[in-house]
Amino acid sequence: MSNFLKNIIRFIFFILVQAFILDKVPPLHQFIKPCLYFLFILWLPFNISRSALLLVSFIFGLTLDYFTGPPGLHAAPCVIIAYIRPFLLNILLPQETTELSYAEPSIKSLGWAPYSVYVVLLTFVHHLSLVFIEWMQLGGLLFFMGKVAATTAVSLLLIFVTEMLFYRKAKYRTNKA
């Protein structure tokens, strides 16, 4: 399956999962909202250009917004993590080789520790900006800190489960083929 087709399927899949499964879960607490959709942006391939990455993330966020909540609420955090992603990958991948030999960020291509740093940081930034936008309308410091911490923890748990359930075969690309 080509990379392009695979990502289109993922796009639809993540939107549907977020809008029709995770958002339908009855909330346990005000702070605990399951949120997984942005994993799509984290899984986009290495070789996507930075402007394409920004545009894809923006459209992705906006699509989700039309299913849930006011438009623009998820689009802004998506654009922010899409902008940070290349910088973070540059730091985490000192050698050029990884980028050439693997298609997309995963446990196998980056290694356990760098991949966790990558996921934790982007998840945190995503929720920080998402809750910040809500907080500007609602206020309350406890709300802000509690919600950032709780949603980040829930998201990390969900991402961990997803990585375990859907093991992505990271092909090692060589010159031979």
Partner 1 sequence: MRNIFIFIGRYFNFFLFLILLGISFAILIKFNQTYEAFFANNSNEVTGWVDRQYNDIEYYFRLKDANRQLAEENARLRNMLASSFDSPDSARIIKIDTLTKDTLGRVRKFNFLPAKVVNNSVSQEFNYITLYRGSNQGIKSDMAVIGPDGIVGRVILVSDNYSRVMSLLNRNSRVSAMLKKGNYTGILDWDGKDPQYVQLHGIPKSAQLNKGDSVLTSNLSDFPSGIMIGTVSAMSIDPSTNFFTLQVKSSTNFFTLQYAYIVENFLWNEQKKLETKTPKNQ
List contacts with partner 1 (CB under 8 A). Answer: 20, 23-27, 30, 33, 50-51, 54-55, 58, 61-62, 66-73, 75-76, 79-80, 82-83, 133-134, 137-138
- The minimum distance between CB 15 and partner 1, in angstroms, equals 9
Between 24 and 176, CB nearer to partner 1:
24
Helix, strand, or coil here: 143? helix
Closer CB to partner 1, 68 or 101, in the complex: 68
Q: To the nearest whole angstrom, how small is the minimum distance from the Cβ of residue 61 to partner 1? A: 7
Cβ nearer to partner 1, comparing 38 with 115: 38
Closer CB to partner 1, 66 or 167, in the complex = 66
Minimum CB distance to partner 1, residue 131 (Å): 10
> Is the Cβ of residue 41 or residue 115 nearer to partner 1 in the bound state?
41
Crossing angle of helices 3-20 and 50-67, in 10° steps, is: 30
**Shortest Cβ distance from residue 19 to partner 1 (Å)?**
8
Q: Which residues contact 164 (CB under 8 A, 6 or more apart)?
A: none
Shortest CB 177 distance to partner 1, Å: 31
Q: Which residue has the tokens 């309308």?
A: 137
Q: Which amino acid is at 125?
A: V
* Residue 31 and residue 41 in contact, taking contact as beta carbons nearer than 8 Å: no
Q: Considering only CA atoms, give the Rg of the chain.
A: 16
CA–CA dist 67, 108 (Å, integer): 33
Can you tell me the distance from the alpha carbon of 110 to that of 88, in angstroms, rounded to the nearest whole number? Answer: 12
Say how far apart CA 177 and CA 169 lie, in whole Å.
17
